[in-house]
């Protein structure tokens, strides 16, 4: 893993994501190396994703300046996502603690902070999170340990993530599950078992999104992994991802039935 310390000009950026005003990404790059990740294609990153991380060492000072500028404006509160194109609690955070120091600056109640991660490291900051106006989401794509190792090689197991979610809930921190991106013919296997396990973690709500392809190179990367580990799914994925409206309609219908059965709140992004 190549690690570089860099300075950023801005750290809190306008977000085009539904329900959020700004996003904060303490790092560029991510050691989790998820195969389906759209970040390198959105960022137009030429380096091999999962092999580098740039650490924004001046992020806290930059955030302080941005917050000060907002105080002079007419914005009294806003919703911040941490993070949209990296994981704020990837392994480097253990030493750099940039995410933690940024969160300390976002303690005032006018900031609603949504943290999205796959890491158990988020529990390190539990005392801080309990004092904030925040919610913590854990991303789960499947409970299949084998599939998780293939598609999310640098992450803790799905079960460990759900255990983190349960602990946060017991600690009175608002939680959610990001069930996505949905992996065709993988995320929907033993679907009721998956939703039942989700219900045991008692999230405040669940967000669901499909896998969206960001151009030919994104599909090429995914296709290569499928050919190695799931060759029988290559053509099925291609059909679904490029013309899969019927597949996702049925998936959505099954999910709604199960969410209602287990009395779970949910939001779809598709």
87 and 172, same structural domain? no
**Edge-to-edge strands, sheet with 2-6:** 2-6, 52-56, 27-28
Residue whose C-alpha is closest to residue 15's, from 112, 108, 137: 112
Q: Which residues pair with 208 in a beta bridge?
A: 179, 268
User: Residue 85: which pLDDT band, with cuts at 50, 70 and 90?
Assistant: very high
pLDDT average, residue stretch 239-244: 87
Residue recorded with tokens 């609603």:
112
104 and 13, same structural domain? yes
**pLDDT given for residue 16 in this prediction:** 80
146 and 127, same structural domain? no
Phi, psi of 176, deg, nearest 5: -150, 160
270 and 142, same structural domain? yes
- Is the torsion defined by CA of 133, 137, 207, 21 positive or negative? positive
Least confident of 45-49, 65-69, 91-95, 98-102: 65-69
Confidence check: pLDDT of 191 > 90: yes
Render pLDDT for 102-136 as a digit per residue (tens, 0 to 9). Answer: 999 999 888 999 999 999 999 999 999 999 999 99
Render pLDDT for 145-183 as a digit per residue (tens, 0 to 9). Answer: 999 999 999 999 999 999 999 999 999 999 999 999 999
User: Residue 68: which pLDDT band, with cuts at 50, 70 and 90?
Assistant: confident
Q: Mean pLDDT, the chain, as a whole number? A: 95
Q: Which residues pair with 80 in a beta bridge?
A: 22, 113
144 and 121, same structural domain? no
Number of domains in the chain: 2
How far apart are the C-alpha atoms of 148 and 185, rounded to whole Å? 14
Greatest CA separation found in the chain? 58
pTM: 0.95
**pLDDT given for residue 74 in this prediction:** 52
160 and 114, same structural domain? no
Confidence check: pLDDT of 69 > 90: no
Range of the domain at 15: 1-132
**pLDDT given for residue 173 in this prediction:** 98
pLDDT average, residue stretch 19-48: 94
Query: How is residue 45 annotated by DSSP?
Result: -
17 and 127, same structural domain? yes
Structure tokens at 263: 């009395």
118 and 166, same structural domain? no
Q: Which residues pair with 5 in a beta bridge?
A: 55
Residue recorded with tokens 């065709």:
184
Confidence check: pLDDT of 76 > 80: no
**pLDDT given for residue 72 in this prediction:** 59
Instruction: Specify the 3-state DSSP secondary structure of 191.
Output: helix
**pLDDT given for residue 110 in this prediction:** 84
260 and 156, same structural domain? yes
Phi, psi of 228, deg, nearest 5: -80, -40
């Amino acid at each position: 893993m190549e690690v570089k310390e860099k300075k950023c000009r801005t750290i809190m950026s306008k977000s085009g994501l539904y329900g959020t005003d700004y996003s904060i990404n303490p790092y560029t790059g991510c050691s989790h190396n998820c195969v389906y990740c759209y970040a390198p294609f959105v960022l137009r990153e030429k380096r091999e994703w999962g092999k580098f991380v740039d650490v924004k060492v001046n992020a806290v000072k930059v955030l302080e300046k941005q917050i000060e500028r907002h105080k002079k404006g007419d914005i009294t509160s806003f919703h911040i996502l941490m993070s949209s194109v990296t994981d704020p609690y990837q392994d480097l955070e253990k030493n750099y603690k940039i995410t933690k120091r940024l969160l300390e600056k976002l303690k005032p109640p006018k900031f609603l902070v949504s943290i999205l991660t796959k890491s158990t490291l988020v529990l390190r900051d539990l005392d801080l999170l309990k004092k904030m106006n925040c919610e913590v989401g854990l991303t789960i794509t499947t409970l299949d340990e084998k599939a998780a190792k293939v598609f999310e090689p640098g992450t803790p197991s799905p079960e460990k993530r759900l255990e983190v979610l349960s602990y946060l809930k017991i600690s009175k921190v608002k939680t959610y599950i990001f069930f996505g991106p949905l992996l065709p013919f993988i995320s929907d296997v033993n679907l009721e078992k998956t939703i039942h396990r989700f219900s045991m973690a008692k999230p405040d709500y669940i967000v669901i999104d499909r896998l969206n392809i960001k151009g030919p190179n994104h599909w090429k990367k995914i296709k290569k992994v499928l050919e190695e580990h799931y060759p029988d799914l290559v053509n099925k994925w291609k059909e679904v991802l490029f013309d899969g409206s019927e597949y996702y309609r049925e998936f959505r219908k099954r999910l709604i039935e199960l969410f209602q059965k287990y009395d779970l709140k949910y939001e779809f992004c598709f």
